[in-house]
A = this chain, B = another copy of it.
Amino acid sequence: MKAINAEIIGVGTELLLGQISNTNAQWLSEQLATKGIGVYYHHVVGDNHKRLLDVFKLAARRSDLVFVTGGLGPTDDDLTRETLAEFVGKPLCQNEQALADLEYFFKRTDRDMTENNLKQTMVIEGAQIIRNHAGTAPGMIVPFQDCHFIIMPGVPNEMKTMMKEQILPSLSEMLKLHDVIVSRMVKFIGIGESQLEMRVKPLIDQQSNPTIAPLATEGEVALRVTAKAHTKLEADELINQTLAQINDYVGEYIYGYDEESISDVIVKWLSEHHKTLAAAESLTGGRFADAFVSVLGAGHVFNGSLVSYTADAKAGALGVQQATIDREGMVSKQCAYEMAKRAKELFNASYGISFTGVAGPDPLEGKEVGTVYICLYTDSDNYIIEQFSFPKSREIVRNRSVKKGLQLIYDKLIRQ
């Protein structure tokens, strides 16, 4: 059976102005992957007749399934319906069902229907109509030569409802799809992208199903394992075999799977071990605390953080010795040590962690921009202080500091 290849076209000038993100394309791609339909392109074009026509032409040449979202609204700059009709050489005609649905929609939502809404009841002759139970514009499946255009509204929940309730079921039917694709993410900490790829290269090279692909995002690396099979059960089986192999090769660097974040793992570990954490933040300025408070259930294990951005706050509110600040400076091993110790004491936690450094743009106390000290403190016999030197961009220094702090906790408390 020939593999089905699809592309997703987003229509709307607001996408090209960056006012909204094309989340429809991501969601559709995920859905189609699980059906074993390969998405080869995303394309975004504005509300412009000529460019829209060009994009349709290209799609018809290169794809079996063309999913189009947006441009079905009632206003004059919504051109998807008219332009596709022109492209496939079919007239638009009013659809009774669509008209009935539209009238019912306005009755139900108790709003007045305006003249231009009637435009939304016009459909392409010969198209299969997809009723819209969440809005006013019906969708359509329009066959053209060897491919099918699937036209949907741009409003995410209208599009998603149509896909789930009507289009995906009839697609499997229409295309006699057999394969299921299952994909999992393996997440790593403490190893770089290139190192990881070298270590697992034999695995990557020796197998084609499941496939293994390295991914790098914001200071984190992962492996994407994707399996294709006739049933979900078989696909899961294949995936699990590969996960076991990956574990043999680089298991010591795996911290989690799929949506799991390092903070999730740390929160889970802390609650299982009935431990608590507190922080003292200088350059990270609350961003470390934020990483925890974002995690559900963090309230039981993350006692709090004291953001002491100024020297006065470090000495006053936090209680670092003034002598330490005068002698060693705010950006120093000793200051990091006292900050972590005070965080633990102040919030009555099992562990205290501290961040102090130079976010820039200018050097501080003779220390280069990017110099950061992080201390993890349990008691006066158990603590660790690490020094880092990050790239010289303020936001990056602050983000990397938070990541390194999470990694430090993971390495010292959880990994062994």
Q: Which of A11-19, A227-235, A408-416 lies at the interface?
A: A11-19
Check A294–B395 contact: CB distance below 8 A: yes
Chain A contact residues: over half helix, strand or loop, or mixed? mixed
The yes or no answer to A357 lying at the interface (CB within 8 A) is: no
Q: Which of A69-77, A84-92, A167-175, A241-249 lies at the interface?
A: A69-77
The yes or no answer to A257 lying at the interface (CB within 8 A) is: no
Check A296–B361 contact: CB distance below 8 A: yes
Q: Which of A33-41, A121-129, A139-147, A332-340 lies at the interface?
A: A33-41
Residues of B within 8 A of A31 (CB): 18
Number of copies: 2
Closest Cβ–Cβ distance, residue A28 to chain B (whole Å): 7
Residues of B within 8 A of A25 (CB): 18, 21-22, 44
Check A42–B17 contact: CB distance below 8 A: no
Interface residues of A, count at CB 8 A:
120
Residues of B within 8 A of A310 (CB): 299-300, 302-304
Residues of B within 8 A of A20 (CB): 26, 217
Give the distance in Å from the alpha carbon of A221 to the alpha carbon of B176 in the complex: 41
The yes or no answer to A377 lying at the interface (CB within 8 A) is: no
What are 28 inter-chain pairs, A to B, with CB distance below 8 A?
A13-B213, A14-B213, A15-B42, A18-B28, A20-B26, A21-B22, A21-B26, A25-B44, A40-B48, A41-B43, A41-B55, A73-B216, A74-B197, A75-B214, A116-B197, A155-B217, A165-B393, A286-B286, A286-B289, A286-B290, A286-B305, A290-B290, A294-B395, A303-B309, A304-B309, A306-B307, A306-B317, A316-B348
Chain A residues packing against B (C-beta within 8 Å): 10, 13-23, 25-33, 38-46, 48, 51, 54-55, 58, 62, 73-77, 105, 108-109, 111-112, 114-117, 133-135, 155-157, 161, 165, 183, 185, 192-195, 197-198, 213-218, 224, 226, 279, 281, 283-290, 292-294, 296, 298-300, 302-310, 312-313, 316-317, 346-348, 359, 361, 370, 389-396, 398-399
